[in-house]
Structure 1
Amino acid sequence: MVMDSLLSILFFLLTISSFNHASSFTSQPSYKDHCGSIVPESTANELIPSSFPFDDHHTGYFTGGDSIIDGGTSLNQYFTFQPMYIRATQFSELFKVEGSVSLTSSISYFYPVGNFSYDDRLRYERRRRYRRSHVNFKLEGFWSESSGKVCMVGTGNGYSKKGKYLNLDLVFKLVNVFNVSNITSLVSGSLESLSSQKDENYFEPISVLMFPKGNYKYTLDSTEVANEFSSGSDAAKGGFSLNSLSFCSRPLSRAIRRLQLEFSPKCNPSKNCTPFSESSGPLVSLMSLKGIECSLANNKHRLRVMMRFLNASDYWIGQSFNPKTMLVGEGWWDEKKNMLCVVACHIIGKTSSLTGSHVGDCSVRLRLRFPSTWSINSTSRLVGQIWSNKSTNSRGYFKKITFRNEEDGRVGIFQATKYEYSQLDRVKKLCPTPKPTKNKGKRYPDAYSYDMRFDMAVRESGKRVAWGYSTPVAVGDKVSSWGNVQNSTVEVFEEKLNSGGLFNISYKISLWFNSTNVQNSIRNQSSWSAGISAEGIYDAGTGNLCMVGCRDLHSNPLIPTAHSVDCEIVVKFQLPPLDEKKGIFIKGSIESTRKNSDSLYFKTLELSSAAFYTEVAEKAVWRMDMETIMVLISTTLACVFVGLQIYHVKKHSNVLPLLSLVMMTILTLGHMVPLVLNFEALLAQNPNNKNFVFGNVGWLEVNEIAVRLITMVAFLLQFRLLQLTWSSRKSDESNKGLLTAERKGAYVTLPLYAAGFLIALLLKLKRDGEVVVMTPGNQHHSSWENLKSYGGLVLDGFLLPQIILNLFSNMRENVLSCSFYFGITFVRLLPHAYDLYRTHNYSQLDNGSYIYADPSADFYSTAWDVVIPLGGISFAVIIYLQQRFGAHCILPQKFKGSKVYEKVPMVVELEAEVETTNL
């Protein structure tokens, strides 16, 4: 009974709480009090087909509301109005509307994702992340078709900047909501809080703006306007033709970002060189073009567009919606001239609010085309012009602006198909044909292959100043898809390529500098980067690439002028052969042919890059697969040999105390350390921290798990053998002399290891040429690699502690089974034999690609691969001789009589004692 009463009370309290919580959302503000004077209220009837001029999901823009949403500093912010139910009323032009309003903003920021390996170097990488804010409202109200006004009330929920949950009451107002619209139609409105300003649920007024889509009529493409696009040099150039089926499905009807603006050289920030008469300060440098609506009517492609002008810094850090730097317009595709023509208009309104904004002053013209032919001076996928049809002295006039796009992947489908060379005569003079060399049998990268793309380190006067990236633009007159050429083109030149021919080739080189303080640099003033377009000749028979380059010049960073170029540049690269086994590095240079006194002269830049050829990478993947199998086989054999030794000591328990604890400890650690390191790496695994060459190879991860499992088995078996040895020592208290021998052996072994570490370290440093350590991080990395390498060397000589213990104990027993000491020796020395094979058959890559015989885990070179196996075999032979002829058999004759510990059987001792008593 008591339990039932408690449950009843608890259920009553939960019901009251749920009712109060639900009532906070269901109670709507009074429509009559807040909207009655704007749109009258009426009784709603049945649902009707949507006669509302907005579709089911209509988007727009907003400003304000900073207390509930990050609208002032967001990168992307948009407003969504979604009508859900439309009901007729007693009046024919009055409708009840139920729907929702959403406000969304995205804030952009960078976060680190770790490092990736390339050319045995670590590079830091950052990625962009977006934090989204979202507020949703449920509304109901009325729409007057005759006045075009909408008024709705409702509730919503959100969070304050301090993270506190808020219940929001509001009124939503719109104007100019008509069934028919044109370029001058803008739907504007506001979201206003119904709470007092002192209430924590209060938020600042939010202004909204939408471009109506329903029943839109194009009115700006008149015959007079079309004539304005007939003049100009840009109009005479050809480009891609778009058919009626693909026009509205292409990026042209969506968004094209980062269009680079280039102003007239006569412009300066104090003059009006932009479409915005009220603009001040530095000129904007970027423009984005976004399609609002695309349609095909009367066999004519039409497009509504929105143009947004902004600075490069605003593009990355974001800025709030600002109609003062935006244009809205109508465009159409001219099929005869293969270009887009746009008539653009200003959005006129208040500075502080979007309410009451309207469109006017349609004096801006835009022309856009997609070039079908590229050259060294222009590799832009999209080019165009912006100008004003006003007279020079009129308010709002501005000088013609050109723009181009080279980075946005959204326009990649409009890539040019032909390349025109203009610098080949200069290339022949500046790049004389090298003398024939004895390169018979050597193969160099295919001119059409992905191997022609590479990044590079850039040095100036021996100092690292930048890094860069080189990408082929065209081979012959065919433009490549950034390194991938059509198969038909490759087949045409296959015969010539096999004979080692010469190829005309074009490149695009991008450089990013570590600092803007580099003197006499190729970079632009106050810029971190530099771009070079180059064309020249590639000799597929020698791997020599020589080109003439042109770099963009921007004399004044505040005024991005129509780009001028400096073509007094020579770019050279020497590619290594495909079958090179060592030093697979691309070497090159960027030189200025100007005199030192010339203002455009720059010091020679030295270029270097690791050549990760596709063929080499494919062989490396096959090698990694084979190495994984070898690891599995070697570890399995180690398990078998240790198991046989355990069986041996179980069968001959008297030899168990004679095993060297130092040797057992070394072998146990040899299996434990990789397990610990792999487990730590597994816990800290970062999916973004992948090898640059091989990426995320799923089967490698599966095989890694198998290797770890078998290594775990080997570790457990070896640990069991160590435990048995230690237990036998503790239980056999009569063998105190054996403990003394173990201690003496340790006194000899440990100094030998210390001295060996110093000697091996010096030899390895001399071989690798590591004389100067660049940074503390590299020093730590190098020390750890050296420690791992010496640990592998100690494991290779794992029998040394047993040999020394045998000498001090004068052992005469078969302590180690033949299968153990010869088998483990074979397992330890097999990687060195494989390394000799690998050196002569595979190219050297970064250490991250080695699974078996890892150079960072042991000493590997031609000399070490001979010395270490000879030493390991010698140790195994010594153990064999000691167990067959006695531990001292390897000593010179004069040392064999030394007093050493010898285990005397108990039976012999008793017999000697009895004989003494009888005497």
Structure 2
Amino acid sequence: MAPSKNTISYAYPLCFIFILSTTTLSVAISTSYSSRCSSPSPASDYHTDYVDTLALLRSFQISIGYFSSGGNSLFSADDDYVNPRSFSFVPHGVFRTKDPTIIHLTATLVLSGPRSSTYIGHRHHRYSITQTISFILDGYYSFTSNDLCMVGFGTNYAADGSIKLHEDSVLRLRVPRPSKLTNPLVTGHLEGTNFETISLVAYDESDNYVYSENALCPPFMLENSMLEQAQAVKENFNCDQLKTHLRRLYKLEYMVDDPLAPRGYNMWSHATRMYINHVHCTANGAVRAYVEFYNDTKMLPYKGRFMVVEEALVADGYWDPTTGQLCFNACPIVRSVSGLSHTDFVVQDCKIKMSFRFVDVWTIRDRSVIAGMLWNSSQGIVNNSRAIPGIISVSGIQEHWENISHVKYTYTVVDEAKKHYISSGLSNKKKKIKGSFPGNGTYSYHDLEFRFIANHVGSGDAYPMTIGSMMVYEDRLAANDSLSDPMVVGMKHELLNVSYDIRYYAPLENWIRPKNGSYSISLHERRISAEGIYDRKRGTLCMIGCREINSSTDCLVLITVQFSSLDAKTQGHGVGAISSLREKNDRLFFEKIDITLYGMYTEQLFEAISRMDMESIMLVLSTTLSCVFTILQILHTKKNPEVPPATSITMLITLALGYLTPLVLNFEALFLSRRKQYVPFFRNNRVELNEVMLRVPTLIAFVLHLRLLQLVWYGRKPDHQSKAETFSIAKRKALQICLSLYFLGGILAGIIHIINVHTRRESPVVVRISQEPATIWEDLVSYAGLILDGFLLPQIILNRLSGSRVQAISPWFYIGVTLIRAMPHVYDLFRAQNYIPSLRSSYIYANSHDDLFSAAWDIIIPLGAALLAMVLFLQQRLGGASLISLQGSRLGSYEMVSTI
């Protein structure tokens, strides 16, 4: 589409203003450059061709760096995990000058970091937001001194929303050209008149890098088995694939007591994690990277960020196609105390060697797609031996989303697990077995997954990695859900080899539960890799596990699990224990951890999904019938003029609120999938009724009740004035009685809730494997459901007080709505006998949050609702006070009193 004339007419002035402002800015910056930058000296621009310009622009670009020191007036003093400090440098103009050693640059520097803000509401609350400052800069770079100096100004939004200007800003960077292993960092600082000096550092990203000499890996690093594994990958070098595998978090394991450098070289003495960041490589197999070290297993690195940590390395090396290894030379980086100059970061002696290999075979001790070692080359190398001082084993921590289809698993401690299984008596064949367990024929490997509660405090998950000879790691590799292949399952044997990945959160091992029952604890992640046997006939799992602790691996851990049978109608999934096989005086010994499993088997899970579909249909059907009965009552009201005055407005308001409440409370879940919340790995393609479809009939029923309420409110008055006064007085009295009863019931519900909460606090050892305890608001909502069950009570009280014999309520309405309110309780009795409750609330129809449901309430409420319907039937046939002998107590007797 061609631009309109108006657009063209506005475009010319805007372009002219932009060119004029840019020219003025360039002149202003050029004028201030000489006064702020002593070197490099400015020079006249020279013609630069297109290809040269692109190459220069790429060579000076910095996508991610880190700034520190100063800047506290612009950013928070402390770094923030959510909003870390970072900067980017994007050149958008470059020109050769008449001096071949100097180039002219224009660029944008963007600083991004945390800034504290205060939310003013009922109370002051401080939180962190991202502050961004952009600097427009102009200056010169010298290839001789590697110095870049630029001047300009910056802008950002102040706290009040106004634009803040930072004039006379000066950027000084040292950009090595070419960069190399001993000089790979871009360092410098930014100065301004209204903020403190800010230090900058980044890992050089340009292709203008000179790699060091080839780092040859020693022969002992590859055994024969490793050489066989390397055959599949040694010929094909793919830079992108290498970046994907290499750039990750690693765990470190020290092979000797004196880590890495017994001769005064004490780096990484406390580091337990390593993160390889900013990987760059070339087509010929040259690779370089920035490596960070952490001493906190809970600390997660800033993925995609450049971080200045206490311990770091820069490394470069080459891919060895003959052995399928990646070998590095590495240099430690140490922060100096020389102030704000470019000497803030010093690269020390490059005596560290690193070697990495791709792993094709997993065991209980090594389950990473890439592994390697670090060592100090100054301490010498002993061929054909692993007894090297200071050697560190490196294993990449597995990422859940990776493709590991090329990996095979080798069992190494299965025989030991069998011995413990037999010696423990778990395999006692004389013990009677009730029910069937996963593995007796066709079954889903999801049945062997389980979630558990550890020692009534922590919680965790366990996923099978292999079942028999099949790799099924968290649904990544299994061809289908069913494991019925005899070659895989091993139908001739009761015991099936399995391996697991177990992760759970628990307190520190020396933590003791307070006796007063009130405590707050910090949970720490634990990981166990395990393998062993699974008895398919008894549903028993017995495994030997390895856990990481204090930078070492403890492989004397016993895990036992007893699954519940497939046909068990219980809520729990089974029980188990994690215990240590060491002596009590061993420093790695830990007390036994009892675990309680929860969850559902696959067959039970699909039954639950089918039940949810059926309950969705039942909910829509019941609400639709409610709409039909309401329409019949509207027609009955319009047809009979005496009905509106005799109808209880309190009853209609109660019913209307009953339909309005779920619409308001569930509004945020209207567009969420119940199935995905209930079970994330559900993959059935059947049509699902979401919350919108379920709530549309409810909305219609609410509108119809408003219409019915309108008809009753503005309905015709009785023919006699005395009758009008009688109904008016009776309605007010009925409202007072109902509100009093509802208020007293609400107080009673609150007292019961407090008693239940107190009981739970007094018994902290009770394990809850159902949904979380109800809040006071949820209990009151359930009590409101009880009020709806007795929706006829206000009408019965009105009839009793007025003595009316008018058939105000149609039989279709009060009988139909009574059945609608009673059916969920009848269904709940059936559901309790045929379905297994789950950890998460999956009830759509007869939801415990909407009413009171239990074995007692499911009998009391339908009987009570039927009784109220029977009383209303008799009142409308025999009179409002016909069931009570005290006729004079009704308000209708006031008609007999003379007003003279």
* TM value normalised by structure 2: 0.77
Pick from 818, 831, 836: which aligns with 1:838?
A: 831
Question: Does 1:682 pair with 2:670?
Answer: no
Supply the distance in 1 between the matched residues of 2:25 and 2:719 (Cα, whole angstroms). 77
Sequence identity (%): 24
Instruction: Determine the structure 2 residue equivalent to 1:231.
Output: 220
Residue 671 of structure 2 contacts residue 690 of structure 2 at CA under 8 Å; is this kept in 1? Answer: no
Sort the Cα spacing of 1:495 and 1:837 in 2 relative to 1 into closer, same or farther, 3 A.
farther
Supply the distance in 2 between the matched residues of 1:208 and 1:762 (Cα, whole angstroms). 62
Pick from 678, 692, 696: which aligns with 1:706?
A: 696
Residue 43 of structure 2 contacts residue 98 of structure 2 at CA under 8 Å; is this kept in 1? Answer: no
Instruction: Determine the structure 1 residue equivalent to 2:650.
Output: 665
Instruction: Determine the structure 2 residue equivalent to 1:361.
Output: 349
Q: 1:28, CA displacement in angstroms?
A: 0.8
Supply the distance in 2 between the matched residues of 1:773 and 1:512 (Cα, whole angstroms). 22
Supply the distance in 2 between the matched residues of 1:520 and 1:380 (Cα, whole angstroms). 36
The Cα RMSD (Å) is: 5.2
Supply the distance in 2 between the matched residues of 1:899 and 1:513 (Cα, whole angstroms). 71
Question: Does 1:818 pair with 2:820?
Answer: no
Q: What SS does structure 2 have at the residue aligned with 1:361?
A: coil
Q: Give the AA of the match of 2:363.
A: S
Sort the Cα spacing of 1:620 and 1:374 in 2 relative to 1 into closer, same or farther, 3 A.
same
Sort the Cα spacing of 1:232 and 1:203 in 2 relative to 1 into closer, same or farther, 3 A.
same
Instruction: Determine the structure 2 residue equivalent to 1:66.
Output: 70
Pick from 775, 781, 785: which aligns with 2:774?
A: 781
Equivalent residues, number: 831
Pick from 447, 454, 458: which aligns with 1:458?
A: 454
Supply the distance in 2 between the matched residues of 1:861 and 1:243 (Cα, whole angstroms). 65
Q: 1:390, CA displacement in angstroms?
A: 0.9
Instruction: Determine the structure 2 residue equivalent to 1:100.
Output: 107
Pick from 842, 846, 852: which aligns with 2:845?
A: 852
Residue 140 of structure 2 contacts residue 148 of structure 2 at CA under 8 Å; is this kept in 1? Answer: yes
Supply the distance in 2 between the matched residues of 1:773 and 1:653 (Cα, whole angstroms). 58
Pairing 1:252-291 to 2, within 5 Å after superposition: 252=243, 256-267=247-258, 276=267, 283-291=270-278
Residue 175 of structure 2 contacts residue 187 of structure 2 at CA under 8 Å; is this kept in 1? Answer: no
Q: Give the AA of the match of 2:92.
A: M
Q: Give the AA of the match of 1:368.
A: F
Instruction: Determine the structure 1 residue equivalent to 2:164.
Output: 165
Supply the distance in 1 between the matched residues of 2:812 and 2:306 (Cα, whole angstroms). 76
Supply the distance in 2 between the matched residues of 1:86 and 1:746 (Cα, whole angstroms). 83
Q: 1:494, CA displacement in angstroms?
A: 9.0
Residue 444 of structure 2 contacts residue 602 of structure 2 at CA under 8 Å; is this kept in 1? Answer: no
Residue 538 of structure 1 contacts residue 546 of structure 1 at CA under 8 Å; is this kept in 2? Answer: yes
Sort the Cα spacing of 1:320 and 1:880 in 2 relative to 1 into closer, same or farther, 3 A.
closer
Q: What SS does structure 1 have at the residue aligned with 2:270?
A: coil
Pick from 623, 641, 654: which aligns with 1:653?
A: 641
Instruction: Determine the structure 1 residue equivalent to 2:44.
Output: 42
Q: Give the AA of the match of 1:400.
A: I
Supply the distance in 2 between the matched residues of 1:600 and 1:321 (Cα, whole angstroms). 34
Q: Which has the higher contact order (CA 8 A, sep 6+)?
A: 1
Pick from 281, 288, 310: which aligns with 1:304?
A: 288
Q: Give the AA of the match of 2:52.
A: S
Pairing 1:895-910 to 2, within 5 Å after superposition: 895=885, 899=888
Q: 1:265, CA displacement in angstroms?
A: 4.2
Instruction: Determine the structure 2 residue equivalent to 1:11.
Output: none
CA-to-partner distance for each residue in 1:457-511, whole Å, 9 max, x for gaps?
222xxxx332222222221243332244421783524995999954221223233
Instruction: Determine the structure 1 residue equivalent to 2:3.
Output: none
Give the gaps of 5 or more residues in structure 2.
1-15, 119-126, 382-387, 515-521
Supply the distance in 2 between the matched residues of 1:362 and 1:840 (Cα, whole angstroms). 71
Supply the distance in 2 between the matched residues of 1:627 and 1:157 (Cα, whole angstroms). 58
Sort the Cα spacing of 1:857 and 1:437 in 2 relative to 1 into closer, same or farther, 3 A.
farther
Q: What SS does structure 2 have at the residue aligned with 1:482?
A: helix
Instruction: Determine the structure 1 residue equivalent to 2:391.
Output: 400
Residue 545 of structure 2 contacts residue 558 of structure 2 at CA under 8 Å; is this kept in 1? Answer: yes
Q: 1:672, CA displacement in angstroms?
A: 0.9
Instruction: Determine the structure 1 residue equivalent to 2:822.
Output: 829
Residue 235 of structure 1 contacts residue 337 of structure 1 at CA under 8 Å; is this kept in 2? Answer: no
Q: What SS does structure 1 have at the residue aligned with 2:849?
A: helix
Sort the Cα spacing of 1:204 and 1:874 in 2 relative to 1 into closer, same or farther, 3 A.
closer
Supply the distance in 2 between the matched residues of 1:471 and 1:884 (Cα, whole angstroms). 66
Instruction: Determine the structure 2 residue equivalent to 1:549.
Output: 545
Pick from 316, 340, 346: which aligns with 2:326?
A: 340
CA-to-partner distance for each residue in 1:28-54, whole Å, 9 max, x for gaps?
143444556534512433545326556
Sort the Cα spacing of 1:456 and 1:886 in 2 relative to 1 into closer, same or farther, 3 A.
same
Supply the distance in 2 between the matched residues of 1:890 and 1:146 (Cα, whole angstroms). 110
Supply the distance in 1 between the matched residues of 2:489 and 2:108 (Cα, whole angstroms). 65
Q: Give the AA of the match of 1:310.
A: Y
Supply the distance in 1 between the matched residues of 2:697 and 2:615 (Cα, whole angstroms). 11
Pairing 1:486-635 to 2, within 5 Å after superposition: 486-487=478-479, 490=483, 492-493=485-486, 502-514=495-507, 517-519=510-512, 528-554=524-550, 560=551, 563-577=552-566, 580-592=568-580, 602-635=590-623
Residue 546 of structure 2 contacts residue 554 of structure 2 at CA under 8 Å; is this kept in 1? Answer: yes
- Bigger Rg, structure 1 or 2: 1
Supply the distance in 2 between the matched residues of 1:769 and 1:160 (Cα, whole angstroms). 48
Supply the distance in 2 between the matched residues of 1:414 and 1:275 (Cα, whole angstroms). 40
Q: 1:366, CA displacement in angstroms?
A: 0.6
Sort the Cα spacing of 1:108 and 1:690 in 2 relative to 1 into closer, same or farther, 3 A.
farther
Q: Give the AA of the match of 1:384.
A: G
CA-to-partner distance for each residue in 1:122-177, whole Å, 9 max, x for gaps?
xxxxxxx9954444333344445566554444433347899971323344455565
Residue 829 of structure 1 contacts residue 872 of structure 1 at CA under 8 Å; is this kept in 2? Answer: yes
Q: What SS does structure 2 have at the residue aligned with 1:231?
A: helix
Residue 45 of structure 2 contacts residue 104 of structure 2 at CA under 8 Å; is this kept in 1? Answer: no
* TM value normalised by structure 1: 0.75
CA-to-partner distance for each residue in 1:613-669, whole Å, 9 max, x for gaps?
45444444443343333333322322332332233233332344333x3xx424422
CA-to-partner distance for each residue in 1:415-452, whole Å, 9 max, x for gaps?
84213141333243235325475656777797753343
Supply the distance in 1 between the matched residues of 2:658 and 2:535 (Cα, whole angstroms). 50
Q: 1:716, CA displacement in angstroms?
A: 0.8
Sort the Cα spacing of 1:642 and 1:426 in 2 relative to 1 into closer, same or farther, 3 A.
same
Deviates more, 1:579-588 or 1:72-81: 72-81
Instruction: Determine the structure 2 residue equivalent to 1:136.
Output: 134
Instruction: Determine the structure 1 residue equivalent to 2:317.
Output: 331
Residue 255 of structure 1 contacts residue 288 of structure 1 at CA under 8 Å; is this kept in 2? Answer: no
Supply the distance in 2 between the matched residues of 1:330 and 1:136 (Cα, whole angstroms). 33
Supply the distance in 2 between the matched residues of 1:354 and 1:321 (Cα, whole angstroms). 19
Question: Does 1:214 pair with 2:201?
Answer: no
Sort the Cα spacing of 1:833 and 1:153 in 2 relative to 1 into closer, same or farther, 3 A.
same
Q: Give the AA of the match of 2:700.
A: I
CA-to-partner distance for each residue in 1:692-712, whole Å, 9 max, x for gaps?
425799952322541442242
Pick from 426, 433, 442: which aligns with 2:427?
A: 433
Pairing 1:675-754 to 2, within 5 Å after superposition: 675-676=660-661, 678-679=663-664, 682=667, 692-693=677-678, 700-720=690-710, 722-724=712-714, 728=717, 732-737=721-726
Supply the distance in 1 between the matched residues of 2:809 and 2:826 (Cα, whole angstroms). 25
Sort the Cα spacing of 1:388 and 1:827 in 2 relative to 1 into closer, same or farther, 3 A.
same
Instruction: Determine the structure 1 residue equivalent to 2:7.
Output: none
Give the gaps of 5 or more residues in structure 1.
1-14, 112-128, 555-559, 910-919
Supply the distance in 2 between the matched residues of 1:802 and 1:231 (Cα, whole angstroms). 91
Q: Give the AA of the match of 1:165.
A: K
Q: 1:217, CA displacement in angstroms?
A: 4.2
Instruction: Determine the structure 1 residue equivalent to 2:121.
Output: none
Sort the Cα spacing of 1:153 and 1:107 in 2 relative to 1 into closer, same or farther, 3 A.
closer
Sort the Cα spacing of 1:873 and 1:564 in 2 relative to 1 into closer, same or farther, 3 A.
closer
Instruction: Determine the structure 1 residue equivalent to 2:409.
Output: 418
Pairing 1:801-812 to 2, within 5 Å after superposition: 801-803=794-796, 805-806=798-799, 809-812=802-805
Q: 1:536, CA displacement in angstroms?
A: 2.6
